């Protein structure tokens, strides 16, 4: 569920009309619902109870510090994949012992920063990284807590660009080599193995791939314990999908996901960590845009919006679907027609939807892209020198701008012209 509903003929975020925000902030803008973020986090906590667990929000899905503070204050941990995300989590008040550092390309500088500031664990992705971290930690007189991300060679049955658990993907260490790798960790002076990590992909819409991966993790846990390693923590990654359409088809619920974890891994007595991002943030946000022109083309009509692929790149990058709705509620039975929904960028790829049935919208009307909270603002950029899209957070009947739209002077001042020009 989410908290974006029509009231009195206008789409609201909780108790605030999106048209009111548009009048104050301008368009396009992202809007997040605090109530939805809170509810989705709580769904995972309820699903994992009574297991000892930590729900680590995947910052890569939505990294605004205000959102991180909201979730951190609820008790969430954070999954980070760069030192920038680590510093965002710390700026939001999340203690180091609730931060997990993932990612295939951690630098020595990033490792040192996290060790100095405090870290729950590093999820190791390769043997060179493992040896580098040991050197850094040992030079600081520390032993870094680590898990090894094992690649279980499981087909996540998701988009090829967000699948991470097959043998040909760049992520993790082949599970067949895990015992050998953990044996080396035990010999390295700067590392302490605390558990196992696995993550097979994003936007999974069925539980079977998770079950296959969890079975392999259970077998590996038994084998590593037999080898004398302490395995007290299982990091199961994230990846549970969300419904991007309003059809009757829906991915599994967190409750079903939690039941599977208990069935496959509950007997091991391990603390369970999960790293959901999309399911917490995705349906918690919308992108609001205004129609610039309605263009009648040859055999098709276009809605030209003031939002573009630089503001929401998922449709262009992944062919992703987002429901697009009018902010002013259409009357029951109001006519519709197919539109190609596009932005103003000089790229044919700047297309959000083709032949999408929508109400008869006009210049100046507002539309909202649903389920845009995950991988929306975080992937936005300033292509075509378009100002970065702002972000707004709503709670109950009030809203706040949590990232302002830069003006053109700010953008221009970032460029430095050398003296010799």
Q: Please report, for residues 4, 120, 389, 399, the alpha-carbon distance to residue 22 in angstroms, rounded to integers and kept in the order given.
A: 15, 41, 12, 12
The more confident residue out of 157 and 258 is: 258
pLDDT class for 80, splitting at 50, 70, 90? Answer: very high
Average pLDDT in the chain: 94
Averaged over 246-269, what is the pLDDT?
88
Confidence of residue 159 (pLDDT cuts 50, 70, 90): very low
The answer to whether the CB of 46 falls within 8 A of the CB of 293 is: no
Residue 283: pLDDT over 50? yes
**If you average pLDDT over residues 168-180, what whole number do you get?**
81
Angle at CA of residue 200, ends 1 and 89, nearest 5°: 65
pLDDT at 162 over 50: no
pTM (2 d.p.) = 0.94
Average pLDDT over residues 278-294: 97
Query: Which pLDDT belongs to residue 200?
Result: 87
Coil, strand or helix at 177: helix
Name all domains of the chain by residue range, CATH numbers in brackets: 4-31+282-413 (2.40.37.10), 103-274 (3.20.20.10)
The candidate with the shortest Cα–Cα distance to 317, out of 263, 252, 265, 383, is 383
Mean pLDDT of 234-238: 95
Residues taking part in catalysis: 346
Does the pLDDT value for residue 46 go beyond 90?
yes
Q: pLDDT confidence of 165, banded at 50, 70, 90? A: very low
Q: What integer pLDDT is reported at residue 166 of this predicted model?
A: 44
Q: What is the pLDDT of residues 83-113, one digit of tens each?
A: 999 999 999 999 999 999 999 999 999 999 9
pLDDT above 80: residue 245: no
């Amino acid at each position: 569920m989410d908290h974006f509903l029509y009231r009195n003929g206008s789409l609201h975020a909780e108790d605030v009309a999106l048209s009111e925000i548009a009048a104050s902030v301008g368009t396009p803008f992202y809007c997040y619902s605090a109530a939805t973020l809170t509810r989705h986090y709580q769904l995972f906590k309820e699903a994992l109870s009574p297991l000892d667990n930590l729900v680590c929000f995947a910052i890569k899905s939505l990294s605004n510090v205000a959102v991180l503070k909201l979730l951190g204050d609820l008790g969430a941990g954070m999954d980070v994949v760069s030192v920038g995300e680590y510093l965002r989590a710390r700026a939001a008040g999340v203690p180091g012992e609730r931060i997990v550092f993932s990612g295939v390309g951690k630098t020595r500088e990033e490792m040192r920063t996290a060790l100095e500031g405090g870290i729950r664990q590093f999820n190791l992705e390769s043997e060179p990284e493992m040896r580098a971290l040991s050197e850094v930690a040992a030079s600081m007189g520390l032993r870094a807590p680590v898990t090894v991300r094992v690649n279980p060679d499981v087909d996540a049955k998701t988009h090829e660009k967000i699948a991470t658990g097959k043998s040909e993907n760049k992520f993790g260490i082949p599970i067949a080599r895990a015992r050998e790798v953990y044996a080396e960790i035990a010999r390295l002076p700067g590392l302490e193995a605390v558990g196992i990590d696995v993550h097979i992909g994003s936007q999974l819409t069925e539980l079977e791939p998770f079950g296959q991966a969890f079975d392999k993790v259970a077998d590996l846990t038994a084998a590593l314990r037999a080898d004398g390693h302490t395995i007290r923590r299982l990091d199961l990654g994230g990846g549970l999908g969300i419904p991007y359409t309003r059809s009757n088809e829906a991915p599994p619920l967190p409750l079903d996901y939690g039941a599977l974890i208990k069935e496959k891994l509950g007997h091991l007595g391990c603390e369970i960590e999960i790293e959901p991002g999309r399911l917490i943030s995705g349906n918690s946000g919308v992108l609001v845009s205004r129609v610039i022109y309605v263009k009648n083309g040859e055999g098709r009509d276009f809605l030209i919006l003031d939002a573009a692929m630089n503001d929401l790149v998922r449709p262009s990058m992944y062919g992703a679907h987002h429901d697009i709705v009018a902010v002013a509620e259409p009357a029951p039975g109001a006519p519709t027609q197919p539109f190609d929904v596009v932005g103003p960028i000089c790229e044919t790829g700047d297309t959000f939807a083709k032949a999408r049935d929508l109400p008869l919208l006009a210049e100046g009307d507002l539309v909202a892209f649903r389920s845009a909270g995950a991988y929306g603002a975080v992937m936005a950029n300033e292509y075509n020198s378009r100002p970065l899209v702002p972000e707004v957070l709503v709670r109950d009947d009030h809203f706040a701008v949590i990232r302002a739209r830069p003006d053109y002077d700010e953008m221009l001042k970032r460029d430095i012209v050398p003296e010799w020009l």
